[in-house]
Amino acid sequence: EDKVVQSPLSLVVHEGDTVTLNCSYEVTNFRSLLWYKQEKKAPTFLFMLTSSGIEKKSGRLSSILDKKELFSILNITATQTGDSAIYLCAVDSGYTGTASKLTFGTGTRLQVTL
Amino acid sequence: DAGITQSPRHKVTETGTPVTLRCHQTENHRYMYWYRQDPGHGLRLIHYSYGVKDTDKGEVSDGYSVSRSKTEDFLLTLESATSSQTSVYFCAISEPAEKLFFGSGTQLSVL
């Protein structure tokens, strides 16, 4: 059975802090790992990672994948209150030419306080 | 919301009644998915579609059926709703091996 575990489950930080969110996985077939941000409604896409060691960046957010150790981290620097959300990690174990088969972790709830 | 519309946004129904949720996309994406989200479980796949009239089961498909008669529409039916189907339901779309885009969700309460 495919499994994705995120840690910590929740986190409270002060504005300006740097946070690291963790995602480890065990899947039968690996196609990609995805990070999503979920505020009140739909999860919104952050990153898709397919190769080890290549950092993806978008503003203050960055992510990297380690396929040997089966984990990924999501870093947020200089946090702002607008970063408060649930961050979801998912692994796609679909095969070439097939639909995505995403297994999601239960998420990390981040709260950024003033 | 990447051209995905879910309806209704909220629904309250009684145990034993049939319920249909609708997902409509304007992106012409090949794949469409239905997920449910529950505390402690994360998002779990119910059914997905890989083309018109082509559907398959996900990990939590019992008690649900789907239909896709047009590229843009994907319906999820709870044949006889139960309280365990109280959840938030998300529709998603994707192209092959690409990221999923999610709709805004339907909050369903079964009393």
Residue length of chain B: 111
Query: Under an 8 A CB cutoff, do A106 and B96 touch?
Result: no
**Strand bridging mode B4-7 / B19-25:** antiparallel
A46 pLDDT more than 60: yes
Contact predicate A83/A67, CB 8 Å: no
- Which class is B4-110 in CATH? mainly beta
Q: Residue B51: what pLDDT?
A: 92
Query: What pLDDT, on a 0 to 100 scale, did the predictor assign at position A99?
Result: 86
Domain boundaries, chain B: 4-110
| pLDDT beyond 70 at B2 | no
pLDDT at B8: 96
Neighbours of B1 (CB within 10 A): 15
- Give B24: exposed, middle or buried? Use CB within 10 Å, 0-12, 13-18, 19+: middle
Closest chain A residue to the Cα of B35, Cα to Cα: A102
* Residue B1 predicted with pLDDT over 70: no
For residue A40, give how far its alpha carbon lies from the nearest alpha carbon of chain B (Å).
Answer: 9
Mean pLDDT of B92-105: 92
Q: What are phi and psi of B83, to 5 degrees?
A: -65, -25
Coil, strand, or helix at residue B43?
strand
Q: Are strands B64-70 and B10-13 parallel, antiparallel or unpaired?
A: unpaired
Mean of pLDDT values over A84-91 = 98
At A53 the pLDDT is 86
What is the band of B98 on the pLDDT scale with cuts at 50, 70, 90? confident
How much is the mean pLDDT over chain B?
Answer: 95
Of A45, A53, A95, nearest to A72 by C-alpha is A53
pLDDT digits (tens, 9 = 90+) for B40-79: 888 999 999 999 999 999 999 999 999 999 999 999 999 9
Is the CB of residue B48 less than 8 Å away from at least one CB of chain A? yes
Domains in chain A, number? 1
As a whole number, mean pLDDT of residues A18-45 equals: 95
| Average pLDDT rounded to a whole number, residues B19-30 | 96
Q: The CATH number of the domain where A62 resides is what?
A: 2.60.40.10
